[in-house]
């Protein structure tokens, strides 16, 4: 890709986003991928790529920047897109350094740094669990004294439940911070709020909410990751009070974070909320400017006909070309997924034969499927049944890593 049509450079340290790459190519946009050496042989859609480039694993954004600038010398990239959450800081640094449009380092903080996004949401009038940074021990001591445990000690930049530790007393917090040393300030302490956890997956165009789908997890993801068990999520009844409350909370949250970062959101978001058992209120947990993992994109597609990866590519190409983005026609079905680590290398899913089963996962030591129906209640019934069977027939447990691994 030389002096011709401007293209997109995608960065991903994980094997994901193939639908984005294919869609960009379908639209006639040159698209290149920068991934890690470890993933050079992964299942990338090479026929869609104008270039596949690699860098060593575990680079800091500053260390990755030269690999991007070398590619930039002889390629006409108009946009840089991080397909995975752990590459967002790298992409934002490169955009600012190369003076390309898109989220810079300040803006990306509000969709990546759990402390920044909580502060931004609270300033925007969004309800959040009580939280505090841990950099100043006197302020932290006062916070713990005023809130009472238990709390969650969370890394500010990890995804999912990686690295989260639950603590019940003040005297348990200080040794953890001592062991973290200089890494302690990269954490926050948050009051533990038991409740039911939801996610809203959305598309945005210059601050305008173009699409949103509200879902409910079966068990909180943190509980599933730390204690083991079966992961489920399902589309909520679109006309329910529950869904409308989430739509409103989500729109208010993302607009507040966009304003905090001095811009308007354009692209995809995956945002999580919790409805507290104690008072029934919906609280913001976290958000990300990416497509949801754990086959959430497929659940969204089976329910709506809209693939979030493909639509994200359409949004990026439209921005690159100065065109308008138009939402495709939607379907209004319901879908849900059930997933778990499996004891068996190749779990046998043939007995899960309901007519609503539309997808079966093909992955070593994983069991998973997706169901689709015109009835939200039918999806819930199937997931309740199948998750109980998965727990008995397949479910294995693996300790959560302290840090993400590709």
Q: Is-contact 215 199, C-beta < 8 A?
A: yes
Separation in Å, CA 298 to CA 93, 138, 231, 253: 30, 46, 15, 24
Q: Is-contact 323 379, C-beta < 8 A?
A: no
Separation in Å, CA 216 to CA 7, 42, 330, 337: 37, 32, 20, 11
Q: What percent of the chain has pLDDT over 70?
A: 96
Q: Which neighbouring-strand residues pair with 196?
A: 275
Q: Where are the domains of the chain?
A: 7-102, 130-191, 195-393
- The CATH label, of 3.90.1150.10, 3.30.1540.10, 3.30.470.20, 3.40.109.10, for the domain at 195-393 is 3.30.470.20
0.85 exceeded by the pTM? yes
Q: Distance from CA of residue 123 to its chain's centroid? A: 23
pLDDT at 221: 79
Q: Is-contact 344 324, C-beta < 8 A?
A: no
State the residue for tokens 């920044």. 116
Q: Is-contact 230 338, C-beta < 8 A?
A: yes
pLDDT at 403: 58
**Cα Rg of the chain (Å, integer):** 21
Give burial (CB, 10 Å; 0-12/13-18/19+) of 358: middle
- What class does CATH assign to 130-191? alpha beta
Report the interhelical angle of 88-98 vs 61-73 (nearest 10°): 50
pLDDT at 2: 52
Rounded to 5 degrees, φ, ψ at 47 are -65, -20
Rounded to 5 degrees, φ, ψ at 323 are -105, 170
**3-state DSSP assignment of residue 397:** coil
Whole-number Å distance between alpha carbons of 299 and 335: 6
Q: Distance from CA of residue 299 to its chain's centroid? A: 14
How far apart are the two ends of the chain, measured CA to CA in Å?
Answer: 28
Name the helix (H) or strand (E) containing 138: helix 137-147
- The CATH label, of 3.40.50.2300, 3.40.640.10, 3.40.50.20, 3.40.190.10, for the domain at 7-102 is 3.40.50.20
Please name the residues in contact with 218: beta carbons below 8 A apart, sequence gap of 6 or more.
230, 231, 232, 233, 234, 338, 383, 387
Question: 108-166: per-residue pLDDT in tens?
Answer: 999 999 999 999 999 999 999 999 999 999 999 999 999 999 999 999 987 656 789 99
Measured at the alpha carbon of residue 222, what is the angle toward residues 228 and 162, in degrees to the nearest 5?
95
In tens digits, the chain (406 residues) has pLDDT values of: 556 689 999 999 999 999 999 999 999 999 999 999 999 999 999 999 999 999 999 999 999 999 999 999 999 999 999 999 999 999 999 999 999 999 999 999 999 999 999 999 999 999 999 999 999 999 999 999 999 999 999 999 876 567 899 999 999 999 999 999 999 999 999 999 999 999 999 999 999 999 999 999 998 877 776 577 899 999 999 999 999 999 999 999 999 999 998 889 999 999 999 999 999 999 999 999 999 999 999 999 999 999 999 999 999 999 999 999 999 999 999 999 999 999 999 999 999 999 999 999 988 999 999 999 999 999 999 999 999 999 999 999 766 555 555 5
Q: Which neighbouring-strand residues pair with 336?
A: 234, 371
State both tokens at 238. Answer: 């679109």
């Amino acid at each position: 890709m030389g002096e011709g049509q401007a293209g997109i450079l995608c960065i991903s340290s994980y094997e994901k986003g193939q639908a984005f790459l294919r869609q960009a190519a379908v639209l006639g946009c040159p698209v290149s991928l920068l991934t890690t050496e470890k993933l050079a042989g992964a299942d990338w859609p090479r026929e869609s790529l104008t270039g596949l480039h690699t860098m060593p694993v575990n680079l800091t954004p500053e260390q990755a920047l030269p690999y991007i600038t070398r590619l930039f010398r002889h390629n006409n990239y108009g946009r840089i897109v991080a397909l995975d959450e752990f590459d967002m800081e790298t992409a934002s640094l490169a955009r600012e350094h190369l003076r390309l449009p898109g989220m810079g380092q300040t803006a990306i903080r509000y969709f990546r740094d759990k402390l920044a996004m909580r502060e931004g949401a609270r300033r925007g009038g969004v309800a959040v669990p009580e939280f505090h940074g841990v950099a100043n021990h006197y302020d932290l001591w006062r916070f713990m004294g005023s809130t009472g445990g238990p709390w969650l000690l969370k890394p500010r930049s990890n995804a999912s439940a990686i690295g989260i530790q639950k603590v019940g007393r003040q005297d348990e917090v200080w040794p953890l911070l001592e062991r973290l040393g200089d890494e302690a300030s990269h954490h926050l302490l948050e009051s533990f709020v038991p409740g039911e956890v939801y996610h809203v997956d959305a598309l945005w165009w210059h601050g305008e909410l173009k699409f949103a789908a509200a879902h409910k997890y079966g068990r909180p993801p943190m509980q599933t990751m730390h204690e083991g068990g079966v992961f489920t999520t399902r589309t909520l009844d679109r006309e329910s009070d529950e869904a409308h409350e989430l739509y409103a909370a989500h729109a208010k949250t993302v607009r507040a974070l966009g304003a905090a970062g001095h811009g308007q959101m354009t692209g995809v978001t995956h945002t999580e909320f919790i409805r507290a058992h104690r008072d029934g209120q919906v609280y913001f947990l976290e958000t990300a400017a990416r497509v949801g993992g754990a086959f959430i994109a497929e659940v969204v597609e089976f329910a709506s006909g809209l693939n979030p990866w493909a639509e994200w590519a359409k949004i990026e190409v439209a921005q690159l070309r100065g065109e308008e983005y138009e939402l495709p026609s939607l379907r209004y079905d319901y879908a849900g997924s059930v997933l778990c680590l499996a004891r068996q290398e190749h779990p046998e899913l043939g007995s899960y034969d309901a007519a609503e089963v539309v997808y079966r996962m093909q992955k070593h030591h994983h069991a998973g499927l997706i169901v689709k129906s015109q009835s939200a209640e039918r999806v819930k019934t199937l997931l309740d049944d199948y998750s109980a069977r998965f727990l008995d027939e397949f479910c294995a447990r693996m300790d959560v890593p302290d840090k993400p691994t590709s």
